[in-house]
Amino acid sequence: MEDHRNHEIKCWKKESCEGLLETLAVDDIDLDIIKILSENARMSNVDIANKISVSEGTVRRRIAEMAKNKVIEGFVLLLNCEEAEKCVKAFVSIEIADSNLQSVADKLLKDHEHIIALYRTSTRFNLLSEVMFRSIIELQEFIDGCHKIEGIVDLDVKMVIGSYKKCLWTGI
Domain covering 82-159, topology: Alpha-Beta Plaits (3.30.70)
Say how many C-beta atoms besides its own lie within 10 A of residue 159's C-beta: 12
pLDDT at residue 164 tops 70: yes
pLDDT at 8: 43
Distance from C-alpha of 95 to C-alpha of 154, rounded to nearest angstrom: 5
Residue boundaries of the structural domains of the chain: 4-68, 82-159
End-to-end CA distance of the chain: 37
Q: How many residues does the chain have?
A: 172
Handedness of CA 78, 84, 88, 90 (dihedral sign): positive
Summarize pLDDT for 83-137 with one digit per residue, the tens: 556 788 999 999 999 899 999 999 999 999 999 899 999 999 999 999 999 889 9
Between these two residues, 39 and 94, which has the higher pLDDT value?
A: 94
Domain covering 4-68, topology: Arc Repressor Mutant, subunit A (1.10.10)
Tell me phi and psi for residue 71, to 5 degrees: -70, -40
Identity of the amino acid at 127: L
The yes-or-no answer to whether 4-68 and 82-159 have a common fold is: no
- Lowest-confidence segment of 63-72, 94-103, 163-172 by average pLDDT: 163-172
pLDDT at residue 149 tops 90: yes
Record the pTM. Answer: 0.57
- Rounded to an integer, the average pLDDT of 37-44 is 86
**Beta-bridge partner residues of 152:** 96
